[in-house]
Amino acid sequence: MPYTAYTKLTHDDVMAIRAYLKTVAPVNNHVDRSTLPFPLNIRTGMRAWNALFFSEGEFKPDSHKSAEWNRGAYLVTGPGHCGACHTAKNVLGADKHSEELQGSRLQGWFAPNITNDNVTGLGTWSVDDLVAFLKTGHNRITAATGPMAEEIEHASSKMTDDDLKAIAVYLKSMPGSNTETHPAVASSDPAMRAGQAIYRDQCAACHMIDGKGVSQLFPSLADASMLRSTDPRSAIRLVLRGVRSVATKEEPTAPGMPAFGRMLKDDEIAAVLTYARNTWGRPAPAVAGSDVADARRELRGRTD
């Protein structure tokens, strides 16, 4: 329950939510007793957590910013609670405010950097790119998968265009961390040579030889900031398990990517990802076979 974000809601919005919930028909849903382990099952412990990390209070507009920017800030930090997934957490589960919206691990994924960082964030996206992504789940660069697909299907695809633009304007104003650039892995590196061969054999049919993909259908790996995230676990997961992108009213096709986990060994998956992360500009660190092995082990216990 992201009450740390919902505290920012206006009174009118809270009452509107309450009015809607009163129209939902009740059901008989037996809930098992709490199975949280000690000491997490001691609810009074939240008093200490709240004292350390919770700041109660409605969103306060910034008078130096436009009404559109303030609307976007309200939606992102309040009802949208984007930081719940995209902001890293400390050992007690509170947001690391110094890394706001710069990406975080989540349910076997890495929720990507959504600041305006040019390498790992949204720096190469336009406002229109962001609006299209949040509205349809697809744009000229990428397609929504995993938990973000669920968010788009049930939430942002139902927002007004004005609100989506406000969110985009706000996110584009977030400076990010000015990610350091990394030297490209040399094309003569054995992993790069192996990765190129695997890419041309298994990936180029959809993502094209130049990595540009097909707009609105197959993601452009050449432009995908998610692929170059500091944490490659989402990219590894996509190759291991495959995925189907979200279907929305405007983009109902929901193209999918097959799983390669049984076809490719850990070192081969690492090689093709290293190749993709270092071929079309803005290079990223190489992926190791051990990274893929770790992801395999983690995913064995997950059904989502």
Domains of the chain: 190-300 (1.10.760.10)
**Radius of gyration over alpha carbons of the chain, in Å?**
21
195/192 Cα distance (integer angstroms): 5
Contact 145, 139 (CB under 8 A): no
Identify the pLDDT of residue 193. 98
The CB density around residue 92, as the number of other CB atoms within 10 Å, is: 9
Predicted confidence band at 179 (pLDDT cuts at 50, 70, 90)? low
Query: 35-49, pLDDT tens digit by residue?
Result: 888 888 888 889 999
| Average pLDDT of the chain, as a whole number | 94
Identify the pLDDT of residue 77. 98
Predicted confidence band at 178 (pLDDT cuts at 50, 70, 90)? low
- Measure Cα distances from 280 to 37, 87, 113, 125, 146 in Å: 47, 28, 20, 16, 25
Query: 97-124, pLDDT tens digit by residue?
Result: 999 999 999 888 999 999 999 889 999 9
Q: Which helix (H) or strand (E) holds 105?
A: strand 104-106
**Which residues 6+ apart lie within 8 Å of 105 measured at CB?**
88, 111, 231, 233
- The reported pTM is 0.92
